[in-house]
Structure 1
């Protein structure tokens, strides 16, 4: 039941959204739904969307490749176990591990907006905005996996006279190769979503085309872009699913791991060449000087900012969106127990993952008043698409003997699904929900920039007015909040994984 109770967050959110809807919203929503079945096939539009898609994919590939390479290197350098293998003191690894918490605590959108201010509009800005936090996230996962490995084989090889480098490559590469392939594929999927999101805020790509179509109420053109993005997403997800399925059954050897590393490097190089061809006149990056605030400016900004309302709205956004993301997937699967309906729900998850939260907020604002519930609904639905997909994949791989036994004993499809399938799966679902809540806390800045609530809205206002003292304080507050959320999510995740 703990997997279903978070869905209660839908009640206050839907009440506020329905109460704030105005008369013109029905017509706008109908036009939006009609555009899904009659997307525009204008050749000029298709050409523009195809170019935007190329920018998004190239940015995602390069950002993914760079972040994966940097993340693995930083993860190795922040692992105390590897430092002790070389008989070196462990404090530099511990210090680096703590230092890497800062880049990942800042969302890639904030990195993009900051780099846009100091480097100007350039295709490399979006790549850097993805690479910086992603490299830190990869380093965290890689380091944690290294720390949790059984070192008996490594110690045995060292005692036989093997060099530390040879011992690490031979003893650790099979297990870490599987981690690299599985988690690396997941990060590629995230990079595609992040590249689309950055386009919504002026950093190029398909996201910019989607935003222009929505703001001009050209829903037929909007759905052309969404169907195109959905097609790419489905192809990528199916490829990664086959990839993960194989990596879960095969122990990777050194040659296979080396082949994957070469593929990552090739992807980064391909993305760089691709972007250079798409923007031949981009030139080199230019550093725009920024007047950093002094202590007096920081104190004045700290007194001016409405801290309590901002923090309260950010936390409420996180709690409501996390409740929707965690509780909606099992609730929908419970009320649609047949396989045919489950396939329809799978398509619904794909649609929710494809539509970026800022785009959903803009769409809802066309027929509703701006409230915190709008942002919570958009953010919750988007993340429920991710949670729902993982829940369905986990249920599909699970032993269904208890489910079949309950059905044979006369239990209803809902009860047999609830106790036979969801109940054994609920600890892992709640564990991932704890991690996803940490991600949602970072993503509140995305809907805050659009919906006018929380730290995100104030950050956008400060960036627009070049109020660097307020920007620095707001980013520091966001970092502290996300690091606290990361610690709490780790505690809850360990609790559910051990239950």
Structure 2
């Protein structure tokens, strides 16, 4: 009987390592499940949630929440747009078009950008830019730049090169061959990635407000810190509606792109 391929052994070793890691996590962490599901925890949670009802529906407050929601949307849209511009510039060298050295160094930069979470970027940039949406927008742009740059580079790297080579053989310049052969093949995939990251940035922009970046997150933190639960409930509802609407619009746009 022939021995199993080496890849099968590698897969089994990886699965065993994952099982050991999961078991070690449960053993090392002091997870008090009994306290979580005990009667005291249930009573405290019920009392806390009852404080949110009914939500604040004062027209002046609703207008304030609407302005904050628009600010969050603007932060996410502008941050994504800046990230797309940076990702396109970095994706070309990261896809190996300018040599292995440029590919490795650019991918290392992209790894750094996306490995730092938005909250950390915002905490650093708010020190330099001050409180407000500027720091949050730049934080979204830097992190998303790293994510989209890697995705765009992989898309370019995996695109068939025959159409571009055919244009180059017939006398087209490198830029023209890229624009007319390679880019049209990858553009729908890039647009899909961009829309998906915009969805994520809506949620991230709402969270960044907690550290002072403006928008609905900052409004939520303010009312929670003052224990104004009805007002906080209204902000949470607006956040949920905003994310749901953006998710639906992004889904429809991606469906249209893939047809």
TM-score, length-scaled by structure 1: 0.43
Q: Say whether residues 1:401 and 2:159 are aligned partners.
A: no
1:321 to 66, 79, 93: 79
The alpha carbon displacement at 1:272 in A equals 2.0
Task: Check conservation: 2:205, 2:217, Cα contact below 8 A.
Answer: yes
Q: Say whether residues 1:421 and 2:201 are aligned partners.
A: no
Q: Deviations over 1:466-497 (max 9, x none)?
A: 22212221111111111111111111111111
Q: Label 1:284 to 1:268 Cα distance change in 2 as closer, same or farther (>3 A).
A: farther
RMSD: 3.3
Task: Check conservation: 1:310, 1:453, Cα contact below 8 A.
Answer: yes
The alpha carbon displacement at 1:457 in A equals 0.5
* Cα distance in 1 between the residues matched to 2:212 and 2:56: 28
Of stretches 327-336 and 379-388 in structure 1, the one that deviates more from structure 2 is: 327-336
Task: Check conservation: 2:192, 2:257, Cα contact below 8 A.
Answer: yes
Task: Check conservation: 2:118, 2:140, Cα contact below 8 A.
Answer: yes
The alpha carbon displacement at 1:313 in A equals 0.2
Q: Say whether residues 1:310 and 2:90 are aligned partners.
A: no
Match of 2:143 in 1: 382
DSSP-derived class of the 2:227 partner: coil
Q: Say whether residues 1:275 and 2:29 are aligned partners.
A: yes
Match of 1:467 in 2: 228
DSSP-derived class of the 1:399 partner: coil
DSSP-derived class of the 1:370 partner: coil
Task: Check conservation: 1:349, 1:386, Cα contact below 8 A.
Answer: yes
Q: Deviations over 1:315-368 (max 9, x none)?
A: 101211221233331233358841332332211210111111121122222222
Task: Check conservation: 1:334, 1:418, Cα contact below 8 A.
Answer: no
2:129 to 364, 368, 372: 368
DSSP-derived class of the 1:398 partner: coil
Match of 1:354 in 2: 115
The alpha carbon displacement at 1:275 in A equals 2.0
1:331 to 89, 92, 115: 89
* Cα distance in 1 between the residues matched to 2:52 and 2:134: 37
Q: Label 1:419 to 1:263 Cα distance change in 2 as closer, same or farther (>3 A).
A: farther
Task: Check conservation: 1:357, 1:446, Cα contact below 8 A.
Answer: no
* Cα distance in 2 between the residues matched to 1:384 and 1:405: 32
DSSP-derived class of the 1:299 partner: coil
Match of 1:479 in 2: 240
The alpha carbon displacement at 1:459 in A equals 1.0
Q: Label 1:268 to 1:473 Cα distance change in 2 as closer, same or farther (>3 A).
A: farther
Alignment of 1:68-217 (within 5 A): none
Task: Check conservation: 2:131, 2:214, Cα contact below 8 A.
Answer: no
Task: Check conservation: 1:435, 1:489, Cα contact below 8 A.
Answer: yes
The alpha carbon displacement at 1:267 in A equals 5.3
Q: Deviations over 1:385-419 (max 9, x none)?
A: 11121222222222111222334444443333333
- Please, which runs of 5 or more residues in structure 1 have no aligned partner? 1-245, 247-255
* Cα distance in 1 between the residues matched to 2:148 and 2:52: 44
Task: Check conservation: 1:358, 1:447, Cα contact below 8 A.
Answer: yes
Match of 1:177 in 2: none
DSSP-derived class of the 1:367 partner: helix
Q: Label 1:331 to 1:418 Cα distance change in 2 as closer, same or farther (>3 A).
A: farther
